[in-house]
Structure 1
Amino acid sequence: MKRLLTAIGIGLLTSVSLFAQKSVQNHAERFEQLGTTFRSPNVYRTASGAPGHMYWQQKADHEIEVELNDDNQSIKGSQKITYHNFSPDALTYLWIQLDQNERAKDSNTPKIASSQIGQRMSMRQLESIVWHDLDLGYKINSLKDMSGNDISVTINKTMMRVDLPQPLKAGEKFEFTVDWSFNIHDRMSFIGGRPGYEFFEKDGNYLYTMAEWFPRMAVYSDFEGWQHKQFVGRGEFALAFGDYKVKITVPADHMVGSTGVLQNPEEVLSAVELDRWNLAQKTYDKPVVIRTQAEAERLEKGKAKNKKTWIFHAENVRDFAWTSSRKFIWDAMAVKQAGKDVMAMSYYGKEGNPLWEQYSTRVVAHTIESYSARTFDYPYPVAISVEASNGMEYPMICFNYGRPDADGTYSDAVKYGMISVIIHEVGHNYFPMIVNSDERQWSWMDEGLNTFMQFLAEQEWDRDYPSRRGAAHKIVSYMASEKHLLEPIMTNSENIIQFGPNAYAKPATALNILRETIMGRELFDYAFKEYANRWMFKHPTPEDFFRTMEDASGVDLDWFWRGWFYGAEPVDISLDQVNWFKLDNRTPAEKKADAKKEFDREESYVSKTYNKQDIPQTVLEANPATRDFYNSYNPFAVTPEDEKAYKDFMARLNQKEKDLLNSGLNFYEMKFSNVGGLVMPLIIQFNYVDGTSEIERIPAEIWRLNESEVTKVFAKFKEVKNIVLDPFRETADIDESNNYWPSQATPTRFELFKGAGGARGVSTGDNPMKKAQKK
């Protein structure tokens, strides 16, 4: 309904608002600063989010010799660790991670996992209850100083304390050796996990993904001391940087891919493979196949009795992983990065073709180029993708999934799933392999940031890329979950109910909203790149990220961090009511005429119509004595006083005021309520009667004085036909039915699907490629 504003002392007409959920207080805590929540800045970490002038971190160098036994799927190794104490503290002991013990007999992992017996149980379900009976976990054979003396150790599940013979003072280093062995587990079985082996029954061969395979130094930091939280499977890793020299002995017919640079290609590659490898290092437009599928298939048919030792060096890495199999096809190409070449490479069995040969290495190269443009130039010499029906990352190497059907066809879900996981796992080189956050404490700092970067790289790969995460509307189903199923992003990894949505999707969505809606691309991209460069090869905390994003952009984001990262409320902003007003610039005659029309309309009710027939004569009509002044008075007649008041008012107006009075402006008073609780900007689309549209963007700070409801008036020259709140679905609003004026019905859609099981990355759905080949 249109309302008129009087020209003198414009008054607002009140209306009844729709019901809306309110906070306990109108002005609660959503816009309070986070200063008291954050750690205090100090000489190690500044209030700006940058490393302080006395920042330090430890270093752990490794020299390792390891041998793989392909007959009984076991591994044994010896290593020398040089631990550098750059902290200001004297250390009386060191802590070492023994992650293989997560699968040991006394592991806490099966103990803290809930389980139940159903009417029907699969063998895999039953085995998962008793898997701790397997002979898995480390066997620490010795731990000695460089003089050969035994060092006292205490093993607590997945952590080992090394008691130093004397305190390790600031600036000193300590060298010691560890000999160890363990049985490699079948990661395709009920045990699962990141490392292990996969057995291919058809050709009788194994594919090994060796990660978390050696005792690794825990992190000692300025903000936490020792990070020795137990590894129980989900929370990943906190690791120190160091240099690695690793000798890997495997069957002579195996191909090995690894963190670092191969030091002895002439000894382990055939003459033909060496020539192809040298060619690949000068080829930038497409991958060069170094070991072909035909060559790999020939090797699959036999087992070499002799062995070869592959030697790799890696500098300034936080971890080291490798893979080995006689099944591997190997291809590679060079990628230019800031005046140097990076080798993008892939290792995969025949089961991955033709998909892997066409896409994997190209995706590795694209990921390096995309991520580097937004962070820093990729500093390492290689980046490797391994097909292992898996998805896990380590420095310079990652294990991924995506296998076609046996006939070489595949669904688009398999294709895009493979490309996405390669982007994601290669992207982890940046977060957390280089920007080295603590994954065991804050999964979102690597998974969330990396998923955001993955979304950008996917969109650069294909304009129609079916990205699963990143766009705001795709997090709605999670944020609309029952409250007891939700936790803040700032929740420890082991305590999250819906891990994927919480640690991956929600932070990625939050960053995308920051970039597109809150900060804008220019400010966001500059600040994000500043964070990456400040903390590359260092150990950042959440505060360092939050502070840097504000420091480099000049945007106060405490309300955003508080709502999206420290809270679990959803976004649901309701457009409750719209009142339409116009300035009253009518002449007295026009006002009286309009008033007469309104009076006649109000008095034209049904009883009067019938009474004209049923009441032949009223008292007033029958008896003149009942009449007085008002029976002949015309309230709708224009008086001289009316004309004079109008002329006097117009005479008092200057030209600017007269222009405003005659502008024809429409005023739309809009009332909003914050039903969900998470404050966000108001993004309003006005659709006009003439067919045009306009977007108004109101910052989230409009809620700062009343977090429950706000009223805002918009002046428009054009008449509005309808209004849409959040028209581009960019705020993750969980209920779009209250985003319209006039209100409109919105259907709730559901998807019909048929569930099916299968190995990770294997096609289980529709495969149009297969159908097309049958025609």
Structure 2
Amino acid sequence: MKQFTRTAVVLMLMSIFSYSGYAQEVIEDNQSDFGEFMDRSGNRFRSASGVPGEEYWQNEADYKIKATLDDENHRISGNVVLTYTNNSPQDLDFIWMHLEQNRFTPNSRGTLTTPISGNRYNGDVDGGYTISNLEAKVKRSTSSHYIISDTRMQVFFDKPVPANGGQATISMDFEYKIPEKGMDRMGRLDVEDGTIYAMAQWYPRAAVYDDVEGWNIEPYLGAGEFYLDYGNYDYEITAPYDHIVVGSGELQNPREVLSGTMRDRMDRASESDSAVFIVKPEEVKDMSLRAKNSGMLTWHFKMENTRDVAFASSKAFIWDAAKINLPGGKTAMAQSVYPQESAGREAWGRSTEYTKAAIENYSNMWYEFPYPVAVNVAAAVGGMEYPGLSFCGWQSEGESLWGVTDHEFGHNWFPMIVGTNERRYAWMDEGFNTFINHYSTQKFNNGEYASTLNQTRRMVGWFTSPSREGIDTYPDVTNLRNLGMTAYYKPAVGLLLLREYILGHERFDNAFRSYIETWAYKHPQPADFFNHMENVAGENLSWFWKGWFYGTGNIDIALEDVEEKDGNYIIELSNLGDMPMPVEMKLTYEDGSTEDLRLPVEIWQRGDTWSHLLETNKTLERVELDPDKIIPDINFSNDVWPKNIYKN
């Protein structure tokens, strides 16, 4: 550093003394609002720029499954062979697996933590796994030692699974009764022409071992969903000959399970932008369309680089399909299966149209759909998503059916492609998905249905409720009356504010697309998302993450007064809320002209008041904050000057 001269020292001292008289007027600054609120420093696994580190790793789980559906006794039985690859830097003496069907027992933790009054996550209590013939192999060693604890199973090895690429094979037989009420995620539905089986969480699944928590072994209680590794799936479903089976992934044996007529129709559907019937409504009971007239049929599916698979089976299915056009030039297939009770142009007759539009919208705006099919299944499930397949309410129609279809298929991006931990961070899949649903709905059929996400001021009642909870609240302990806001709407509004108000479309879209591409088929944590958005967008957003995502405070920016001074104007602003925000103003002049004025969020670093000098040779008639009403400011009565001419 350059040495101070005598003159410089004198001037500095004079400056200190001259301002000492104002020392008592110093206002405490708001720098704490702008500082880091969590440790987001990088390491060799996860970098500070929000990309995987040079030693990032995740394990792989590949499955071969053969299962048989017994529609007389509502049971499924089968065998699963898991090939587990340990890419971690630690040897593993055991692995944990999820047995989510054990939720449907009288003494499961989920059953015992369900309120007497019940909730959405009620389920049957006469189910649960029967596990047999387990073998866990590492090289030439074999173990049959395991412990089942509620919805988890710990499988031990005689020799550890070696680090950095070692493999183990775990095989077992399983059987259980298919629940009728599957916690609004899976189950069965009786309709006039048969039973619809919506099959999810239907096989023992490996838990995730990662660099953040080690084994992620939270029990399956209800609101918390899933966190799974990626792998390749090869699975076979043997069902009665008169059933139609649809599943995640690509059907491998159409000639064995589809008649020539059905295959011809499927070929036509693969080239059609409108739905083509594979099984028409009047053909549901026509067994001449089936590949066999008795016995059982085995449907064989494969899916690569996915975290899960689901399927549906019924003899009551109407079936239609259409082509999905993807931006890279490839195509996929949108399919829908539903019973007679759900048919009709105002109902499930438009399901394939909705599915196709949703997949195309998200592919064009964010990231290309990677799977060969997108299947919508009408079931006794309000709405639940799995890779390439969704269950939606069989009684939904019109705008309701569009909304649930668009939402569930949006989940293919979050968390199917971007593999977040839904058990802990529901907002990273439900909230992000609700956000992208907004733009898909705006685009569908030139706005046939309305999105309400941008009507943020209708949510003020919840934002000011004493019982509100934070976005970061653990989903299984969140008050169910708050879950819709904490997991879905508040995080979605947060992204809306970033795109429409704080960063703008170009900067936000660059960052959000980069986040999806960077973490596709990987396991990002909240800090990875925050870091990546900041680094690509070029903006320190700690104040926003802290206030909106990790707090329960509210926004209240006030326009206190406008004073004329020497032909110009001083605009007096206050931050009466709990978090800062940039300030957007619309200025209206006496001659009818208008001007937009934006002040950066940094005006609030020094305190809760700010004076802005507006230099103009015009007469100012009106000032309005947030003229497009994007931010959920909890008190819009102080958003306009003069106060007696407020206009909505």
TM-score (norm 1): 0.75
1:424 paired residue among 395, 401, 407: 407
1:29 paired residue among 28, 32, 37: 32
2:365 paired residue among 370, 374, 377: 374
2:174 paired residue among 180, 189, 208: 180
Cα shift at 1:476:
2.6
2:474 paired residue among 468, 473, 492: 492
The amino acid that maps onto 1:381 is P
SS at 1:495 equivalent = coil
| TM alignment of 1:626-705, pairs within 5 A | 666-705=567-606
Task: Find the counterpart in structure 2 of residue 265 from structure 1.
Answer: 254
Ranges in structure 1 where 5+ consecutive residues have no aligned partner: 1-23, 117-124, 405-413, 584-665, 749-775
Given that 2:120 and 2:184 are in contact with CA atoms closer than 8 Å, whether structure 1 keeps it comes out as no
Name the CA shift for 1:126/1:416 in 2 (closer, same or farther; >3 Å).
Answer: closer
1:196 paired residue among 187, 191, 206: 187
Residue 739 (1) aligns with residue 631 (2): no
Residue 443 (1) aligns with residue 426 (2): yes
| Cα distance between partner residues in 1 of 2:285 and 2:623 | 64
Given that 1:261 and 1:313 are in contact with CA atoms closer than 8 Å, whether structure 2 keeps it comes out as yes
2:516 paired residue among 516, 527, 532: 532
| Cα distance between partner residues in 2 of 1:445 and 1:236 | 12
Given that 1:143 and 1:177 are in contact with CA atoms closer than 8 Å, whether structure 2 keeps it comes out as yes
Given that 2:134 and 2:144 are in contact with CA atoms closer than 8 Å, whether structure 1 keeps it comes out as yes
Task: Find the counterpart in structure 1 of residue 17 from structure 2.
Answer: none
| TM alignment of 1:282-293, pairs within 5 A | 282-283=271-272, 285-293=273-281
Structure in which a larger fraction of residues adopt strand: 2
Question: Deviations for 1:614-639, whole angstroms, at most 9, x for unmatched residues?
Answer: xxxxxxxxxxxxxxxxxxxxxxxxxx
Given that 2:121 and 2:222 are in contact with CA atoms closer than 8 Å, whether structure 1 keeps it comes out as no
Cα shift at 1:236:
0.5
Cα shift at 1:26:
4.3
Task: Find the counterpart in structure 1 of residue 10 from structure 2.
Answer: none
Cα shift at 1:668:
2.3
Choose between structure 1 and 2 for higher RCO, CA contacts under 8 A separated by at least 6 residues. 1
SS at 1:175 equivalent = strand
Cα shift at 1:469:
2.6
Task: Find the counterpart in structure 1 of residue 355 from structure 2.
Answer: 364
| TM alignment of 1:366-765, pairs within 5 A | 366-389=357-380, 390-401=382-393, 403=395, 414-461=397-444, 462-463=446-447, 465-482=449-466, 485-497=467-479, 498-581=482-565, 583=566, 666-706=567-607, 708-744=608-644
Question: Deviations for 1:459-504, whole angstroms, at most 9, x for unmatched residues?
Answer: 011336321335433433321222xx22222222123220111111
The amino acid that maps onto 1:290 is I
Instruction: Out of 667-676 and 551-560, give the one that drifted further.
Output: 667-676
| Cα distance between partner residues in 1 of 2:202 and 2:321 | 26
| Cα distance between partner residues in 1 of 2:350 and 2:120 | 37
Percentage of identical aligned residues: 37
Given that 2:121 and 2:184 are in contact with CA atoms closer than 8 Å, whether structure 1 keeps it comes out as no
Structure 1 residue ranges, 4+ long, deviating more than 4 angstroms after superposition: 125-129, 146-150, 297-300, 302-305, 745-748
Residue 167 (1) aligns with residue 156 (2): no
| Cα distance between partner residues in 1 of 2:362 and 2:113 | 38
Question: Deviations for 1:237-279, whole angstroms, at most 9, x for unmatched residues?
Answer: 0001111111101111111110111111111111211111122
Given that 2:40 and 2:531 are in contact with CA atoms closer than 8 Å, whether structure 1 keeps it comes out as no
Question: Deviations for 1:35-70, whole angstroms, at most 9, x for unmatched residues?
Answer: xx1343111111110111211111111111111111
Instruction: Out of 338-347 and 247-256, give the one that drifted further.
Output: 338-347
Question: Deviations for 1:334-375, whole angstroms, at most 9, x for unmatched residues?
Answer: 223223221111111122221355422122222222212233
| Cα distance between partner residues in 1 of 2:364 and 2:335 | 20
Given that 2:387 and 2:416 are in contact with CA atoms closer than 8 Å, whether structure 1 keeps it comes out as yes
Cα shift at 1:85:
0.6
Ranges in structure 2 where 5+ consecutive residues have no aligned partner: 1-26
Instruction: Out of 459-468 and 507-516, give the one that drifted further.
Output: 459-468
| Cα distance between partner residues in 2 of 1:747 and 1:578 | 17
SS at 1:105 equivalent = coil
Cα shift at 1:671:
2.2
Name the CA shift for 1:425/1:528 in 2 (closer, same or farther; >3 Å).
Answer: same
Given that 1:318 and 1:395 are in contact with CA atoms closer than 8 Å, whether structure 2 keeps it comes out as yes
| Cα distance between partner residues in 2 of 1:547 and 1:249 | 47
Given that 2:121 and 2:223 are in contact with CA atoms closer than 8 Å, whether structure 1 keeps it comes out as no
| Cα distance between partner residues in 2 of 1:526 and 1:538 | 19
Residue 255 (1) aligns with residue 248 (2): no
| Cα distance between partner residues in 2 of 1:723 and 1:313 | 61
The amino acid that maps onto 2:59 is Q
SS at 1:213 equivalent = coil
Given that 2:141 and 2:158 are in contact with CA atoms closer than 8 Å, whether structure 1 keeps it comes out as no
| Cα distance between partner residues in 2 of 1:351 and 1:694 | 56
SS at 2:34 equivalent = coil
SS at 1:237 equivalent = coil
For the aligned residues, what is the CA RMSD? Answer: 2.5
| Cα distance between partner residues in 2 of 1:701 and 1:514 | 16
Name the CA shift for 1:496/1:299 in 2 (closer, same or farther; >3 Å).
Answer: farther
| TM alignment of 1:71-150, pairs within 5 A | 71-115=72-116, 134-145=125-136
Question: Deviations for 1:399-457, whole angstroms, at most 9, x for unmatched residues?
Answer: 112636xxxxxxxxx41121111111111111111111111110111111111111111
Question: Deviations for 1:746-769, whole angstroms, at most 9, x for unmatched residues?
Answer: 799xxxxxxxxxxxxxxxxxxxxx
Task: Find the counterpart in structure 2 of residue 213 from structure 1.
Answer: 202
Given that 1:92 and 1:164 are in contact with CA atoms closer than 8 Å, whether structure 2 keeps it comes out as yes
Task: Find the counterpart in structure 2 of residue 767 from structure 1.
Answer: none
TM-score (norm 2): 0.90
Name the CA shift for 1:385/1:470 in 2 (closer, same or farther; >3 Å).
Answer: farther
Task: Find the counterpart in structure 1 of residue 147 from structure 2.
Answer: 154
| Cα distance between partner residues in 2 of 1:112 and 1:158 | 14
| Cα distance between partner residues in 1 of 2:455 and 2:155 | 47
Task: Find the counterpart in structure 2 of residue 342 from structure 1.
Answer: 332
Cα shift at 1:694:
1.9
Cα shift at 1:304:
7.3
| Cα distance between partner residues in 2 of 1:744 and 1:309 | 73
Given that 1:475 and 1:505 are in contact with CA atoms closer than 8 Å, whether structure 2 keeps it comes out as no
Task: Find the counterpart in structure 1 of residue 14 from structure 2.
Answer: none
Instruction: Out of 494-503 and 667-676, give the one that drifted further.
Output: 667-676
| Cα distance between partner residues in 2 of 1:387 and 1:357 | 8
Given that 1:242 and 1:317 are in contact with CA atoms closer than 8 Å, whether structure 2 keeps it comes out as yes
| Cα distance between partner residues in 2 of 1:169 and 1:723 | 67
| Cα distance between partner residues in 2 of 1:305 and 1:184 | 23
Given that 1:345 and 1:361 are in contact with CA atoms closer than 8 Å, whether structure 2 keeps it comes out as yes
| Cα distance between partner residues in 1 of 2:495 and 2:627 | 19
| Cα distance between partner residues in 2 of 1:287 and 1:670 | 58
Given that 2:472 and 2:486 are in contact with CA atoms closer than 8 Å, whether structure 1 keeps it comes out as no
